[in-house]
Structure 1
Amino acid sequence: MSGVASVAVSDQGDTDVISARANTRALIEEKKVLLLDMNGTFMFGEDRFGPDEDYAAHYAALGGELPARQVNAAIRAIYAYLDVRYPDEQYRHCFPSVETAIRDLFGQQLVADEVHRIVNTFAFHELGYIPAAYAQALHSLNRRFTLAAIVDIWAPKPLWLREFERAGVVDLFAACSFSSDHGVVKPSPQPFLHLLRELGTQPDQALVVGDSARRDLGGAKAAGIDCVLVGRAEHADAVASFANLLQLCDFVEAPA
């Protein structure tokens, strides 16, 4: 009996793992487009809305003059307003903007300049950062795939685009969907399908990469797209699960 056959008989489990990895690699390599989630996938340190967060510091740096207690209370109220609506299916295709939350909560109490400062302060605390290693991973993946970003954020996108520019990745994305542009949040399939139409790509040519089984995998399934989960998320319907985007990148680049 040959050595290879002996391994197959005595260690079937390892052989099954090798076969599964080969099948996963083949499926991923046949894709042309990666639709990438952002938070927890290649951006981290976002959503700094803890109970002890001082929102007034950034607000004051913008030239605002409202009392710190009022600013902190306002941001907490806005976050609570949006947070309770985010998982609610009735808001999936009409998720309110930060400005809508301000109007609903405070009416006309704030003048336009103050609304702008409050929105900017909220965005500053919602924003994360892209680590250099993840920026490099995006560059590596872009050599093999067309990249697009499918992003749920509550505030307007300018600070995120600035972070994309700082990290040197803004030009890697052939298309981006920011939920604050259109009010449609995952797991609706609409943003996924919109990006495919924009890129002229069929669902079977694309792969979603995200860290949420509910939002990323759920939206991908509804759109007929395969999905890989990262960030320790796992689900039987995912093509594969990786510890993070760096591990996925290493898997793609490793010799067959």
Structure 2
Amino acid sequence: MAGDCLRVIIFDLDGTLRLNLPSGGEVFNDYVATFGVPLSDEDRERAARWEHYYWASSRPLREDLERFANDDEAFWNHYTYRRLLVLCGSPKLAEALAPQVSQYMRLSYQPQAIVPDGIYAVLEKLQERRFSLGVVSNRKHPYCDELEALGLKKFFPYTLAAGEVNLWKPDPALFQHVARQLGVRPEQALYVGDNYFADVLGARQAGWKTVLFDPRGLFHEPGCTVIGSFDELPGQIERMDPCGNNV
């Protein structure tokens, strides 16, 4: 039994440990609504789920990165078109609004980076229980300076940007690489993230335990442990750890 104990807890960065206030999706939606476009809660949730899918190293993302490799503005214009199409369902409307919405987001969106409520206390508890903690992100470059600015770096002796090893979530090879580096078996590792497509599917395929951080309830019946706030995480860890670590 001791060999199966949970030893490592790895967190996603963007959307999990680091949040944008206000969120880009809501600013995008609210600006689109100023054009008289009616948006239901279902429309907004559908677009948010699509964002998670797109940024999870999806085929459309890979195609766009290749197509617009040397033109950032064209990339974001096309991304905006894609998101408008999901949000509104009208190719004509998406094509008409994309340049203006893209420009608005590029020039006007200046979010504040914050951490989720309760995260510091939870991380302190996990450290006290001697779990090894880390952060693995789909970013291209290291981000330790950002963790320091958010007051998080002291909790995480292990960090990895996917671009450092050219392995991207949801590729299970990334999680396998992390497990090897940390010297644990898959069943001894837990990944906590907000993106079902990148975080849950990728980690689960690698044999890891998973927790989905989903405060908006975007993913219905995801088939994994779900938390709406980090206050819930210690209790969920106690339930999934076969050694019954009392967090």
Larger RCO of the pair (alpha carbons < 8 Å, separation 6+)? 2
C-alpha contact (below 8 Å) 1:164/1:170 kept by paired residues? yes
Aligned counterparts, 1:1-256, within 5 A: 30-45=5-20, 48=24, 50-51=27-28, 87-89=57-59, 103-104=70-71, 128-131=113-116, 133-144=118-129, 145-153=131-139, 156-158=141-143, 161-231=144-214, 232=217, 233=219, 235=221, 237-238=223-224, 240-249=225-234, 252=237
Q: Matched residues in 1 for 2:111 and 2:64: separation?
A: 16
**Shift in alpha-carbon separation, 1:255–1:90, aligned structure 2, 3 A:** closer
Do 1:189 and 1:219's aligned partners in 2 also have CA atoms closer than 8 Å? yes
Displacement of 1:223: 0.8
Q: Which amino acid aligns with 2:10?
A: L
Identical-residue share of aligned pairs (%)? 22
Distance 1:132 1:96, change over 3 A: same
Q: Which has the larger radius of gyration?
A: 1
Residues 68-121 of structure 1: CA deviation (Å, up to 9, x unaligned): xxxxxxxxxxxxxxx9675533867x9959xx9663458xxxxxxxxxxxxxx9
CA distance in 1, matches of 2:172, 2:64: 15
Shift of the 255–227 alpha-carbon distance from structure 1 to 2, 3 Å rule, reads closer
Q: Deviations over 1:203-247 (max 9, x none)?
A: 011111122222111001221112122224454532x22222221
Over 3 Å counting, the alpha-carbon distance change for 1:126 and 1:225 in structure 2 is farther
Number of the residue aligned with 2:79: none
Q: Given the superposition, is the C-alpha separation of residues 202 and 85 from structure 1 closer, same or farther in structure 2, using an over 3 Å criterion?
A: closer
Determine helix, strand or coil for the equivalent of 2:170.
Answer: coil
Change (3 A) 1:190 1:96: farther
Alpha-carbon distance in 1 for matches of 2:139, 2:133: 19
SS of residue paired to 2:113: coil
* Residue 41 of structure 1, CA deviation: 2.3
**Residue pair 1:187, 1:215 contacting (<8 A) in 2 also:** yes
In structure 1, list runs of 5 or more residues that go unmatched.
Answer: 1-25, 54-82, 107-120
Stretches of structure 2 that go unaligned for 5 or more consecutive residues are 31-52, 74-105, 239-244
Return the alpha-carbon distance in structure 2 between the equivalents of residues 132 and 37 of structure 1.
Answer: 16
Distance in 1, Cα, partners of 2:15 & 2:157: 21
Q: TM-score, normalised by structure 1?
A: 0.54
Structure 1 95/216 Cα, relative in aligned 2: closer, same or farther at 3 Å?
A: farther
Q: Secondary structure at the match of 1:103?
A: coil
Q: In angstroms, what is the RMSD of aligned CA positions?
A: 4.1
Distance 1:48 1:211 in 2: 15
Instruction: Pick closer, same or farther for the CA change 1:255–1:51 going to 2, 3 Å.
Output: closer
Q: Secondary structure at the match of 2:20?
A: coil
- 1:181 aligns to what SS in structure 2? helix
Asked if 2 retains the 8 angstrom alpha-carbon contact of 1:95 and 1:184, the reply is: no
Structure-2 change in CA distance of 1:204 and 1:125 (3 Å): farther
1:13-59 CA-to-partner distances (Å, cap 9, x unmatched) read xxxxxxxxxxxxx9xx9310012122332221166475599xxxxxx
**CA-CA distance at 1:193 after TM superposition:** 1.4
- TM-score, normalising length: structure 2: 0.56
Contact in 1 for aligned 2:6/2:189 (Cα 8 Å)? yes
